[in-house]
Structure 1
Amino acid sequence: MLIDAVERVRIWNTKTGLQVGQLLKGHIYWGTSLAYSPDGQYVVSGSIDKTARIWKAETGSEVGYSLKGHNNAGTSVAYSPNGQYVMTGSKDKTVRVWNAQTGLLVDKLLRGPTHSVTSVVYSPYSQYVAFGSREHIVNIWHPQTGQQV
């Protein structure tokens, strides 16, 4: 996979070197991060345009909604291990969790980072989520309780 600097996302077959499907157009500014769904059917892309978008990996078509809600550039995206959720981090100092099937906001972590979020990740069984920030700290949270570990 490759994100280029002119608002496009491309998916490449790593074995053949050929582009898969169509050019993924939708973001109005350049992309910052990508993640595949656990089953490989979808790709989520984050962007400076404050949105994340979900695409069908095989065809490159957008699923029909954008994940909107951040007040500043998106910096990182991650799929939950079961593929039901997408987590996004942003320069607005928040981490948001979205329903991957509907695009609806499920949760927003308000406490924690005092600087831009730079990276987000789920633990293998979704019992924890972690995010890094520009304050040189990794925060680990229990998503069911909303408590920091």
Structure 2
Amino acid sequence: EGKLLQTLSGHNSAVSSVSFSPDGEMIASGSHTFIINNSMKNYTLKLWSRNGQLLKNLTQVWSDVSSVSFSADGQTLASGDQTGIVKLWSLNSQEFTEKNLTGHGTVVNSVSFSPDGELLASGDLGGTIKLWSRNGQQLKTLTGHNAAVYSVRFSPDGKTLASASEDNTVILWNLNLDDLLVKGCDWLHDYLKNENANLSEGDRDLCDGIKSVAG
């Protein structure tokens, strides 16, 4: 009907991205930083309840947040920012722990989880797209655009990724998630089983049951 339901106020600068959690109970919003007297003062990533109550300032980052995306189960939030870092936020406790995914080296304009939540895509200012596993392992780099990638989105079946670019094109990428996960686990296998690695028992079992490329 076009009726305004709620206005959420709290950001001090331009809000660049919003996303509902899959159950519709939370909203994530990312904004630009607010600069006063040469000092950046704004919490740029916020979580809200659907009725507009501020639940949590996730971080006071010193860079603009450009994109946010929830995983399918609502337990993880991904954010991309101007530092070229993708952050994964664990929402299954009150601690809201974060993990930094590095590799872009330039502004991350867009992040998007696959429908099953097992794959994350991120696109950057240089025209590069990266695919990550849910636990933050970099699986593949997709190159083909000649300018900044501003949006990445998965098809409903998760088998195709669309990327939109400043070069006036949209590219459709054919994905084989099973192969990507297998390759990622092949790279991770020795590290996960290393007794000296600082890992929990759950982390050590991440690739169990996934067949190796080598057989």
TM-score (norm 1): 0.86
Deviates more, 1:2-11 or 1:27-36: 2-11
What is the distance in 1 between the residues matched to 2:64 and 2:95? 17
Contact in 2 for aligned 1:3/1:32 (Cα 8 Å): yes
1:17 Cα deviation from its structure 2 partner: 1.1
1:67 aligns with 2:101: yes
Runs of 4+ in 1 over 3 A off after TM superposition: 57-60
Which residues of 2 match residues 1-149 of structure 1 at below 5 A? 1-6=28-33, 8-14=44-50, 16-20=51-55, 22-25=56-59, 27-57=61-91, 59=94, 61-63=96-98, 65-101=99-135, 103-110=136-143, 112-144=144-176
Q: 1:10 to 1:60 in 2, by over 3 A?
A: farther
Q: Which amino acid aligns with 2:62?
A: I
1:71 Cα deviation from its structure 2 partner: 2.1
TM-score (norm 2): 0.61
RMSD of the TM alignment (CA)?
1.9
Q: Which amino acid aligns with 2:171?
A: N
| RCO higher in structure (CA 8 A, sep ≥6) | 1
Identity %: 24
What is the distance in 1 between the residues matched to 2:82 and 2:166? 17
How many residue pairs match? The answer is 141
Contact in 1 for aligned 2:123/2:130 (Cα 8 Å): yes
More helix as a share of residues = 2
1:27 Cα deviation from its structure 2 partner: 3.8
Task: Work out which of the two has the higher radius of gyration on C-alpha atoms and give 1 or 2.
Answer: 2
Uncovered stretches (5+) of structure 2, i.e. residues with no partner: 1-27, 34-42, 181-215
Uncovered stretches (5+) of structure 1, i.e. residues with no partner: none
More strand as a share of residues = 1
Q: In the TM superposition, what whole-angstrom CA distance separates every residue of 1:81-109 from its partner, at most 9, and x where no partner exists? A: 111111100002100001112x1100100
1:28 Cα deviation from its structure 2 partner: 3.2
What is the distance in 1 between the residues matched to 2:173 and 2:110? 17
Q: In the TM superposition, what whole-angstrom CA distance separates every residue of 1:57-91 from its partner, at most 9, and x where no partner exists? A: 3646133x211100210000000111111110000
What is the distance in 2 between the residues matched to 1:92 and 1:130? 17
Contact in 1 for aligned 2:45/2:58 (Cα 8 Å): yes
